[in-house]
Structure 1
Amino acid sequence: MEKMKRNRNQTSQRIIDALEEVIAEKGIAGVGVNRIAEKAGVSKVLIYRYFGGLDGLLVHYIKMGRLFPLYNEATLEYLKPDHEKDLAKVWYKQVLHSFRLFRHFPTAYEVLKASVIDNEPMADVVSRAQDEEMSRLVDQLAFVKDVDARAISAIILGGMSYMTLLSKKDHTMLGIDLSTESGWERVEEAVKLIYTSLNRTMMESGSGAMEDQPAANTMIGYW
């Protein structure tokens, strides 16, 4: 029984690795059961048996946490700052980490591109799953009452997504070269400024108090 479980886990991992490689090489449009099965060296029947089909495989992959960090309850307790003034660091570090991954990890970039601009069934599956997961993450990191964390995050994430897609086309935006690290350093400093200013405004106005939950040791350097 233990051997069967181990073999299934190993086979599942080969399928996941093959999916990741196909996305990086061909984009979401190039993903297919036959191609994944061939690259993984398995029967395509196993993809249906283990994941319920291609849609299930894609959703499973997105929810694995290989494209952006996932947070369990214990991790969130570590991330929650002891003081309101440190909220900005939690917010902008999550955003910057995620989009560095989207820029530098080909599979993550292709998933982001499919969720934003591709118009096909597989891209729709990816878009829905990614939006659901990102919404869950934003809600989990919303440590403040009476602040629309989803709307704020939608603006930031939308802008960062657009600029990430432009970066692969050697485009500039308002003179900022998005194909260079120096250009992205400017963008990242701007994101930090936005969240820091929002944090300061919130504290000065008293419009948002942190949720009354036990705070554990701060791990702002988690990423």
Structure 2
Amino acid sequence: MTRQRLIAAVGSLLAREGFKGMGVNAVAREAGVDKVLIYRYFGGLPGLIAAFGKEGDFWPSTLELAGGDIKRFAALSPEKQLKVFSHQFIQGLRKRPVTIRIMAWEMVEANELTRELESVREQGILSFFQMFFSFGKNDPDFQTCIMLVGAAISYLLIRSGHIDVYGGIGLETDSDWQRIESGIHRIIQGLLETQKTG
């Protein structure tokens, strides 16, 4: 119970104050526990941040990114896999406003704590790609192209907390994001066409 309170306190503090407000005393105060418990359970603040990233519903799981059924996802065509993945990635982050706020904070505050969460994200995405996306392994630019799509999605999600429209496209409603997904699907189709012809 105490362990979960500490993990939840990290999410609350990060969303409200960013990494500048993150410290052992602040987390203990937020959780209503003695700071010595942070060291007992996590070995210190970096360990607590890593636990938040892995256990605190910070990032979509492999199961979530696969649309809830890994076996079914694995049987899909590469195009359908990428479409499901992009949809689930967008939806997974849209329902995690705390994660989006933390990603925004990370852009202005790089430190040991931000690197802990970055590592959780990177490991999650890379293991997902290694598990499912073998069709792009022979093309070194394939991963780069997918990364650029992911970066665009992340950027638009971060901006959606501050602006309603970007480049004439709305960032607020489900239909706005469906339109963005349609654009992503066209990019995916083009990318896979170059895989076939290249």
Match for residue 40 of structure 1?
Answer: 31
TM-score after normalising by structure 2:
0.80
**Aligned pairs (5 A) from 1:144-223:** 144=135, 145-148=137-140, 149-170=142-163, 172-202=165-195, 204-205=196-197
Structure 1 residue ranges without an equivalent (≥5): 1-9, 208-223
CA positional deviation for 1:97: 2.1
Match for residue 25 of structure 1?
Answer: 16
Hey, which of these two has a bigger chunk of helix by percent?
A: 2
Count of aligned pairs: 191
Counterpart selection for 1:80 from 51, 66, 74: 74
CA positional deviation for 1:158: 1.0
CA distance, structure 1, for counterparts of residue 85 and residue 56 of structure 2: 13
CA positional deviation for 1:107: 1.6
TM-score after normalising by structure 1:
0.72
Higher relative contact order (CA 8 A, sep 6+): 1
Residue 60 in structure 1 maps to residue 51 in structure 2: yes
Contact 2:8 2:52 in 1 (8 A): no
Amino acid at match of 2:73: L
Q: Deviations over 1:93-138 (max 9, x none)?
A: 2232223333342221123223444334432333343223322222
Q: Which has the larger radius of gyration?
A: 1
Distance 1:64 1:137, change over 3 A: farther
CA RMSD of aligned residues (A): 2.6
Residue 119 in structure 1 maps to residue 113 in structure 2: no
CA distance, structure 2, for counterparts of residue 129 and residue 11 of structure 1: 22
Contact 2:38 2:44 in 1 (8 A): yes
SS of the equivalent of 1:135 reads helix
- Percent identity between the aligned chains? 26
SS of the equivalent of 2:60 reads coil
Q: Deviations over 1:133-176 (max 9, x none)?
A: 32222222313252445322211111111111221121532211
SS of the equivalent of 1:179 reads coil
CA distance, structure 2, for counterparts of residue 52 and residue 95 of structure 1: 36
